[in-house]
């Protein structure tokens, strides 16, 4: 089987969490869409069609993938899969589409089998239109699931996806944790890799959903994990209270309270502080007592600033969305529905932080500015990655520099708007 994952025109609506990766690499449940399908099917070859600026770093991370290679599509029948589709569990078994069928979610194309002679009809420009034209010639087949349109959709669907993904890996306990580890709920809802370390005085609670703990993970004493939840390989939990609906990806360091959130990978949240209904990208460091709000005092629907506009979520519980390599310092306080770009430096000033912090910005004593020099920011990223035996490659540095240039106008506009808003507030009469 040959699979190609592609980004459609709506991929750019996923805000800061998709700036450095294709949408099909965003995590929901235990896996990204790409990981889920490659795990589920016997795939002989696979490729991707992504934004041009992501091609170099993606090829570096996944050398087996054919990246933006239209000619490769002419080598054999290929299943094209929309990268924003989050398939329902039962739809995975229905993905073997014949050449005259198209998989639809509502009126949106999520999958179709492309014949080699049809490859010439596709182009990296106008991809959506070409796929839509091919879809009109095929018999529609409904495929269940959902389409991820905004960052909070991943968080909202995470509890259900954790349960579906657990069905792919299955239960695995088969060992005695000793009398000082409390295991609650049915054994068939727990998967603990044999190489994972579970210290005394840990609670694993699968009464409300499955719990999976990956290879070489370490769950330290006085940690409580409530399902549905997944802890990825080589992650460590220290005195943490992990509530249901949470995914902790690989190589994370986690403490404090977390609820219904996704930590993509390589996230450092070692200290006390609350994180709720949020998506945190790799190489983010959340300093001690960093806390976010995920519910407004009046219980009204939350709006999130994306691409310079406030977007209605229609939801009452929405946390924060933080892009790669951003750092927060001691006592940072994020408001409900906050959006933070990549490589931003957040230094608190004893009050709620701005809800919109563009990429490569800094916050100091409540003031939003361009104060973090690009060279200094990149050096900080190098140091942080070296602490986990990883490297900031030249390709990734080129991508970050490109994001810096492309977000320049957005950054300047946000800073100007912030200063105007603060100036108007200072002119308001008191009393």
- 74-122 pLDDT tens trace: 999 999 999 999 999 988 888 887 888 999 999 999 999 999 999 888 8
Q: Are 273 and 256 in contact (CB under 8 A)?
A: yes
Cis, bond preceding 228 (omega within 30 deg of 0): yes
Contact 78, 3 (CB under 8 A): yes
Q: Which residues are within 8 A (CB) of 243 and not within 5 positions of it... i.e. 6 or more apart?
A: 226, 229, 257, 258, 259, 260
Residue 174: the pLDDT is 65
| Residue 56 in this model has a pLDDT that exceeds 50 | yes
Confidence at residue 428, expressed as pLDDT on a 0 to 100 scale: 44
What's residue 169's pLDDT?
87
**Which whole-number Å values give the CA distances from 257 to 5, 229, 346, in the listed order?**
35, 13, 20
For the chain, counts of helices (H) and of strands (E): 8, 38
User: What pLDDT is stored for residue 430 in this prediction?
Assistant: 41
Flag whether pLDDT at 401 surpasses 90: yes
Q: Which residues of 260-384 form beta strands (DSSP E)?
A: 262-263, 268-269, 274-276, 279-280, 285-286, 291-292, 303-306, 309-312, 320-322, 327-328, 333-334, 338-340, 345-347, 356-357, 362-364, 367-369
DSSP character at residue 301 = P
Q: For tokens 């920011």, name the residue.
A: 377
Looking at mean pLDDT, say which of 179-193, 223-237, 373-387, 402-416 comes out highest.
223-237
Q: Which residues partner with 155 through β-bridges?
A: none
Which distant-in-sequence residues (6+ apart) come within 8 Å of 386 by Cβ?
none
Task: Find out whether 110 and 85 touch, Cβ atoms under 8 Å.
Answer: yes
Partners of 201 in the beta sheet?
none
Q: Is the pLDDT of residue 372 over 90?
A: no
A 10 A CB-CB count for 379 gives 12
Q: For residue 400, what is the enclosing H or E element?
A: helix 394-406
Bridge-partner residues for 103, per DSSP? 111, 141
Task: Work out the average pLDDT over 175-196.
Answer: 91
CA distance 321 to 199: 32
Residue position matching structure tokens 């999976």 = 212
Cα angle vertex 26, ends 25, 31, to 5°? Answer: 80
Residue 21: which of 266, 253, 234, 251 has the closest Cα?
266
Nearest Cα to Cα of residue 344 among 332, 335, 336, 352 = 332
For residues 270 and 255, the answer to whether their CB atoms sit within 8 Å is yes
| E strand or H helix that includes residue 191 | strand 190-192
CA 129 from centroid of its chain's CA atoms: 27
């Amino acid at each position: 089987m040959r699979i190609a994952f592609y980004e459609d025109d709506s991929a750019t609506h996923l805000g800061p969490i998709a700036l450095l990766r294709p949408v099909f690499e965003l995590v929901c449940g235990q896996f990204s869409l790409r990981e889920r399908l490659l795990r589920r099917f016997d795939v002989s070859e696979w490729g991707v069609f992504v934004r041009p600026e992501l091609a170099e770093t993606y090829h570096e991370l996944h050398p087996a993938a054919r990246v933006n290679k239209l000619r490769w599509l002419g080598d054999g029948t290929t299943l094209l899969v929309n990268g924003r589709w989050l398939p329902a569990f039962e739809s995975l078994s229905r993905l073997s589409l014949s050449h005259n069928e198209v998989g639809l979610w509502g009126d949106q194309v999520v999958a179709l089998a492309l014949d080699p002679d049809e490859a010439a009809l596709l182009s990296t420009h106008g991809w959506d239109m070409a796929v839509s034209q091919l879809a009109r010639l095929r018999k529609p087949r409904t495929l269940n699931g959902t389409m991820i349109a905004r960052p909070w959709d991943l968080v909202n669907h995470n509890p259900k996806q954790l349960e579906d993904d657990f069905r792919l890996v299955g239960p695995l306990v088969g060992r005695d944790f000793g009398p000082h580890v409390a295991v609650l709920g049915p054994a068939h809802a727990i998967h603990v890799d044999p190489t994972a370390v579970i210290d005394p005085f840990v609670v694993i609670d699968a009464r409300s959903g499955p719990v999976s703990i990956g290879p070489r993970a370490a769950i330290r004493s006085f940690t409580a994990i409530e399902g549905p939840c997944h802890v990825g390989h080589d992650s460590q939990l220290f005195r943490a209270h992990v509530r249901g609906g949470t995914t902790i990806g690989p190589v994370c360091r986690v403490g404090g309270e977390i609820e219904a959130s996704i930590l993509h990978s390589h996230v450092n949240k070692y200290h006390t502080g609350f994180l709720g209904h949020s998506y945190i990208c790799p190489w983010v460091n959340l300093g001690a007592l960093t806390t976010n709000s995920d519910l407004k005092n009046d219980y009204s629907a939350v709006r999130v600033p994306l691409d310079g506009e406030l977007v209605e979520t229609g939801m009452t519980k929405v946390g924060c969305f933080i892009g790669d390599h951003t750092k927060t310092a001691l006592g940072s306080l994020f408001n409900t529905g906050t959006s933070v770009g990549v490589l931003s430096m957040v230094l608190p000033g004893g009050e709620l932080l701005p809800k919109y912090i563009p990429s490569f910005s800094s916050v100091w004593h409540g003031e939003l500015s361009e104060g973090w020099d690009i060279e200094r920011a990149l050096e900080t990223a190098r140091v942080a990655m070296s602490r986990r035996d990883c490297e900031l490659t030249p390709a990734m540095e080129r991508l970050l520099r490109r994001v810096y240039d492309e977000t320049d106008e957005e950054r300047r506009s946000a800073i100007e708007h912030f200063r105007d808003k603060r100036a108007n507030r200072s002119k308001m009469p008191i009393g």
